[in-house]
Structure 1
Amino acid sequence: MDQSPKGAFLRAPRHLPAEHVAAIENGQAYFRIINVWKPVFRTVKDHPIAFAEVRSLQAADLVPVRQLASDYVGETYAVKYRDGQRFRYWSDMSPNDAVLIQCFDSRAKNSGDGAGDGLNYVQCAHGSFQLAEEEKDETYFGDNSELESNRNF
């Protein structure tokens, strides 16, 4: 997951005016982080985007990971595999296709402290994987783009 609840609340001040951040912290406003994922040049034949079915995840599956930049320390979640998890993927995604991925919604639980399990924040665990040889007819790795949009609603 691209943001843990803690990471999302740390990120808000980087993208929003101080008065919007204060309104979020006071529960008077909310924010979402939504990414757009799409192939840039060609249809993806290998490493398609995959999504975890959120109802198959448990809080113990989410592992906090520090996100380091030269001017910022944030937090994401890695998803630890467990039997019983279910995934879906989008095969043959073309440059004409795009998917919106909700990474965070503060309305779901507006505590502001990042406490509690991340599943309360309506997040979408996603990634890509290598298709088995028998499932692909040509190999194409990437040239995809994931854009993040941060807006106060």
Structure 2
Amino acid sequence: MAAVNVNPLTATASELQTRLADNSITSRQLVKIYLDQIYHYNGYLKAVIATAPEDLLNKTAAALDQERIQGYVRGPLHGIPILVKDNIATGPALGLPTTCGSLALQGSKPRHNAGIIDQLQAAGAIILGKANLSEWAWYRSDFADSGWSAVGGQTQSAYVRGGFDRNNDSNGGHSIRKNNTELVNYEKDQDAGRSTAAPPVFPAHIDHTIEGGPKRMLRHLTEREALQYMNDQYRARIINVWRPLNNPVKDCPLAICDPRSIDTKDLLAADRVTPDFAVELYYLKHNANQKWYWLSNQTLDEITLFVNYDSNCRLEGSDWKTCPHAAFINPDVPADSPPRESIEVRLIVFTRSE
């Protein structure tokens, strides 16, 4: 097959259609060009989950080339190779998987094409393969990395040097994982006129709602871990570990509310949205029946643990509640007390259901 001059990075479908119309290229040649591009770069870019069998693609392209020779052009997509996202069903005749990027669907075989696939084929498009995607089209978790799936891996940009590392928080394949922790110091940076770090949080809150807890866990679990542990056989909890750093905490200590003293009617669900993620949490309205506790002058050796999410909350008839908490300003603290410095770590804990 003679070499042809086509830039697969910049060529548009309309430009390729012009080339096909003036017989300076064939659909079979286009199939080879784009397959070569995928084979050469996909090991790094991870943009494509699967390609159709090459003999099938060549047969399809040759038939479309023959139609063109006979004067029959179906439309602007006639003979153009395309990729479709891997959450669009393709039947057995195309020789392609449909996994939504999930290990749970590896090996699944839809009985027939999605309607859009039939329409594309009727228009003369060549279904070259399946593109990678955010797993389950980002329905796996609100906190999943964009462009990552368990089947296809993390997609990369051809235009960003160094690429995207989804493990840059030092996550490993172990049951105990290291994730980002924050040093909380609300002291003001006088030179810059701004806070050097996140201040203590004063509104009473619970970090995760009943629906938000599982989404948070999915952000930190592998597909295999999620399938193994996030089911009725295991009780899942998110436990916060909080302690002072450098000095005992005097001002803005952490207060914990006894969950048995709260009324669920006083919990208000709200969204906390940042540029990187969104999470649903509860705010707590004041009620005179609530019982709050705190450690006066909490030292570095005194550690506070409390439950932020418990899957037992989801059980029918359960009255189990997790712990509202908040910082508060202590009016009895001397003005020259050092600013609060603290560290908070969240643990995802699974135990067998009773």
**TM-score, scaled relative to structure 2:** 0.38
User: 1:29 Cα shift?
Assistant: 2.3
TM superposition shift of 1:127:
1.4
CA gap of 1:18–1:121, structure 2 versus 1, over 3 A, is farther
Deviation at 1:87, TM superposition (A): 0.9
**Contact 2:230 2:236 (C-alpha < 8 Å) held by counterparts:** no
Work out whether residues 109 and 120 of structure 1, in 8 Å CA contact, stay in contact via their aligned partners in 2. Answer: no
Q: State the distance in 1 between where 2:235 and 2:212 align.
A: 15
Structure 2 distance, partners of 1:17, 1:73, is: 20
Return the letter of the residue paired with 1:149. L
Residues 104, 40 of structure 1: alpha-carbon distance in 2 compared, 3 angstrom cutoff: same
CA deviations 1:102-143 (Å, max 9, x no partner) are: 1112134358xxxx9xx845411111111123xx34533311
% same residue: 26
> Whose strand proportion is higher, 1 or 2?
1
Alignment-derived partner of residue 338 in structure 2: 140
2:326 is aligned, of 108, 127, 139, to 127
Secondary structure at 1:141 match in 2: coil
- Alpha-carbon contact 2:210-2:314 (below 8 Å) kept: no
Residues paired across the two proteins, number? 145
Q: Which amino acid aligns with 1:96?
A: D
Alignment RMSD: 2.3
- Check whether the contact 1:66–1:75 (CA below 8 A) recurs between aligned residues: yes
Radius of gyration: which is bigger?
2
Q: Is the counterpart of residue 27 in structure 1 residue 226 in structure 2?
A: no
Other structure's SS at 1:30 match: strand
Q: 2:295 aligned with 1:90, yes or no? A: yes
2:262 is the counterpart of 1:57: yes
SS of 1:12 mapped into structure 2: helix
> What code does the residue aligned with 1:40 have?
L
Partner SS state of residue 5, structure 1: coil
Q: 1:79 to 1:140 in 2, by over 3 A?
A: farther
Superposed counterparts of 1:32-111, under 5 Å = 32-110=237-315
- Once the two structures are superposed, residues 15-69 of structure 1 have per-residue CA deviations (whole angstroms, 9 ceiling, x without a partner) of 1122332355541223210111000110111111111121221011111121223
Inter-partner Cα distance in structure 1 for 2:342 and 2:250:
12
Q: Look up the match of 1:152.
A: 350
Distance 2:233 2:305 in 1: 25
Contact kept, 8 Å, 1:104 with 1:121, in 2: the verdict is no
> Structure 1: which 5+ residue stretches go unaligned?
none
**Structure 2 residues not aligned, in runs of 5+:** 1-205
Q: Which amino acid aligns with 1:100?
A: L
Aligned equivalents of 1:144 and 1:8: distance in 2? 23
Flag the structure with more relative contact order, 1 or 2, with Cα contacts below 8 A and sequence separation at least 6.
1
Tell me the residue number matched to 1:6. Answer: 211
Which AA in structure 2 matches 1:132? P
Q: Could you tell me how far apart the structure 1 residues matched to 2:266 and 2:302 are?
A: 30
